[in-house]
Amino acid sequence: MKIYRVATIPGDGIGKEVIPAGQQVLEALATSENAFRFEFENFDWGGDYYREHGVMMPANGLEALLTKDAILFGSAGDPHIPDHVTLWGLRLKICQGLDQYANVRPTRILPGIDAPLKRCAAEDLNWVIVRENTEGEYSGVGGRMHQGHPIEVATDLSLMTRVGVERIQRYAFRLAQSRPRKLLTVITKSNAQRHAMVMWDEIAAEIAQEFPDVRWEKELVDAATARMVNRPASLDTIVATNLHADILSDLAAALAGSMGIAPTGNINPERMYPSMFEPIHGSAFDIMGKGIANPVGTFWSVVMLLEHLGEMEAAARVMQAIEDVTANPALHTADLGGTATTAMVTEAVCTQIAASAKAQLTVA
């Protein structure tokens, strides 16, 4: 029997509620499949760890992750620690340290979800945003000087490398090629940013030559926001820089009905390092500890994790279970206007997984 080693890092806030729920779903799946199982190791890194040790994760933390097949991550963020400390000390450290340069964010309107775009049919919104995940506006290059003086100055440099841009564009073209519409929109801002973004556009055009069957176009990031709202069906696969995609993916999640549903994968496509899967909603302190966080973003991230492991059928079964559950408004959490708890939704998804395994056995 195959054994997959999975690291769980709940992190902060509702991460501590949704990651155990995700683990529960993976365990229910393994029990029902009887073809593989998971060996979990939990890491208690995050805000509490910081209060005790002065760092978000230990110095040899990355090493402990190297032997894993995948990582399931909750969120990093603590009301008593500056956001740039929690982010750089944990999530970015892992994404950059394990060279997870492709951040993949699928968005669809799942059954039963009341999304805000009233003129759009559910099937009109089916996007995957590919976010450059290791450089650009998040390069961390910059500085501050003359602090506290009137002449204070600060810079955040957006740094793009040819290798970094080529590899994310190639990943996006390949992903677009694998989807039925074979359509890629390259988000840019080369009208105003006349150096790195111009190189970004040029490299997109070069990589496009390798994919003659993919239709592609450029779109300015500001125009893209309007287009996502007005003509959602005109988009399919989207590639953007770190910050542009960060912003567009929140818009995408909101247009699909809730931040609580949206998943993401931080992927190292060459598989030199483990990839990391997480809901995009963040730590959500306003609802932490109440047991009402929506675990669907984590469950969809679990689907992406399974796909990454090559367990396509199992992934499809979990996705179907999720969709069966979202279709029932009685199983909607507060973010979707419902009253269901995290535990209720988790239980319902696990039950669906068990039921679909039984149905499979009967057919066989």
Nearer to Mg ion, 135 or 246 (CB): 246
| Cα 108 to Cα 259: distance, rounded to the nearest angstrom | 12
Nearer to ligand IPM, 75 or 185 (CB): 75
With CB atoms as reference, the residue minimizing the distance to Mg ion is: 246
| Cα 23 to Cα 27: distance, rounded to the nearest angstrom | 6
| Closest distance of CB 246 from Mg ion, Å | 4
Find, among 162, 108, 104, 112, the residue nearest to 133 by Cα. 104
| Cα 264 to Cα 285: distance, rounded to the nearest angstrom | 20
In order of 131, 255, 347, the CA distances from 169 in angstroms are: 10, 25, 39
| Closest distance of CB 280 from Mg ion, Å | 6
Token pair 């080529």 is at which residue? 166
| Cα 262 to Cα 75: distance, rounded to the nearest angstrom | 13
Nearer to ligand IPM, 280 or 357 (CB): 280
Is 345 a binding residue for ligand IPM by CB under 6 A? The answer is: no
Helix%, strand%, coil% for the chain, nearest 5: 45, 25, 30
In order of 40, 103, 184, the CA distances from 59 in angstroms are: 21, 24, 39
DSSP codes of every residue in 306-341: HHHTT-HHHHHHHHHHHHHHHT-GGG--GGGT----
Is 10 a binding residue for ligand IPM by CB under 6 A? The answer is: no
| Closest distance of CB 56 from Mg ion, Å | 18
CB 321, CB 306: distance < 8 Å = no
Segment contacting Mg ion by CB under 5 A, of 153-161, 182-190, 246-254, 356-364: 246-254
| Closest distance of CB 224 from ligand IPM, Å | 16
Question: Footprint of ligand IPM on residues 106-165 (CB under 6 A)?
Answer: none
Segment contacting Mg ion by CB under 5 A, of 123-131, 239-247, 338-346, 348-356: 239-247
Burial class (CB within 10 angstroms; exposed 0-12, middle 13-18, buried 19+) of 75? buried
| Closest distance of CB 70 from ligand IPM, Å | 17
| Closest distance of CB 156 from ligand IPM, Å | 13
Nearer to ligand IPM, 77 or 295 (CB): 77
Is 246 a binding residue for Mg ion by CB under 5 A? The answer is: yes
Nearer to Mg ion, 112 or 263 (CB): 263
State the binding string over 52-71 for Mg ion (x if CB under 5 A, else -).
--------------------
Nearer to ligand IPM, 274 or 338 (CB): 274
Is 278 a binding residue for Mg ion by CB under 5 A? The answer is: no
Is 132 a binding residue for Mg ion by CB under 5 A? The answer is: no
Q: Helix, strand, or coil here: 91?
A: helix
| Closest distance of CB 100 from ligand IPM, Å | 12
Nearer to ligand IPM, 171 or 211 (CB): 171
State the binding string over 272-311 for ligand IPM (x if CB under 6 A, else -).
--------x-x-----------------------------
Is 251 a binding residue for ligand IPM by CB under 6 A? The answer is: no
In order of 123, 172, 198, 248, 356, the CA distances from 129 in angstroms are: 16, 9, 20, 8, 30
**183-188 vs 263-267, strand pairing mode:** unpaired
Is 236 a binding residue for Mg ion by CB under 5 A? The answer is: no
Q: From edge to edge, which strands make up the β-sheet containing 215-220?
A: 36-42, 2-11, 70-75, 275-279, 263-267, 102-108, 126-132, 237-240, 183-188, 215-220
Is 87 a binding residue for ligand IPM by CB under 6 A? The answer is: yes
Q: Helix, strand, or coil here: 87?
A: helix
Is 246 a binding residue for ligand IPM by CB under 6 A? The answer is: yes
Q: Which residues bind ligand IPM (CB under 6 A)?
A: 87, 246, 280, 282
